[in-house]
Amino acid sequence: MQIVPMQKKHLKNVMAIEKESFGIDSWSLQFFQSELKSKLSHYICVIDKDNKIAGYAGCRMLFEDAEIVNICVAPPYRKLGIGKMMMRYFIDMWIDRKIQRAYLEVRVGNNVAINLYKKFGFETISTRKGYYKDGEDAYVMLLDINKL
């Protein structure tokens, strides 16, 4: 498994994984395209030995703050440590870039993702009521990078 920068050529496969994984919350192709153009954003793909996309993730960075805006592993590749691999990559990059804090939002019922984030030191700091389209709440989680 290898981490590469996400490029336009990956978007067809990324979109298929995105739809399968997020359903009504899926991002549109146009949204991914504009994210790839943004100077504030950093997107990665994990590719396997056959060049197939196993997962992808994106974060935005503004001054000393970062936010994970998307992280997803294709269903056949889950529970193999790829989520952890992408989190480790981002945290190392943030330390390098002197980022102080990282935020993210997650469905309160998404225990798999919440466990992943807690493993890297993220803590729940607040709840956004009815944040998702179906009315589920979101936890806002924060990682204080100085505490690492």
Ligand X SMILES: CC(C)(COP(=O)(O)OP(=O)(O)OC[C@H]1O[C@@H](n2cnc3c(N)ncnc32)[C@H](O)[C@@H]1OP(=O)(O)O)[C@@H](O)C(=O)NCCC(=O)NCCS
Query: Which residues in this chain contact ligand X in the complex, by CB under 6 A?
Result: 21, 71-73, 78-84, 106, 110-113, 115-116, 119
**Measured distance CA(49)–CA(89) in Å, rounded:** 19
Instruction: Look up 117 and say whether it is catalytic.
Output: yes
Nearest to ligand X of 69, 93 (CB atom): 69
For the question of residue 105 being annotated catalytic, the response is: yes
Q: How far is the CB of 72 from ligand X (least distance, A)?
A: 4
98 or 133: CB nearest ligand X: 133
Q: Cβ 111 to ligand X, closest distance in Å? A: 6
Residues 6+ apart with CB under 8 A from 120: 84, 87, 88, 91, 143
Closer Cβ to ligand X, 95 or 112, answer by number: 112
- Which residue of this chain has its Cβ atom nearest to ligand X in the complex? 83
Q: How far apart are CA 136 and CA 65, in angstroms?
A: 26
Q: How many CB atoms lie within 10 A of CB 29?
A: 13
The CA distance from 48 to 99, in Å, is: 29
Catalytic residue of the set 103, 105, 132, 136: 105
Tokens of 91: 């945290």
Contact 104, 68 (CB under 8 A): yes
Q: Give the active site residue among 43, 56, 77, 117.
A: 117
The residues that are catalytic are 105, 117
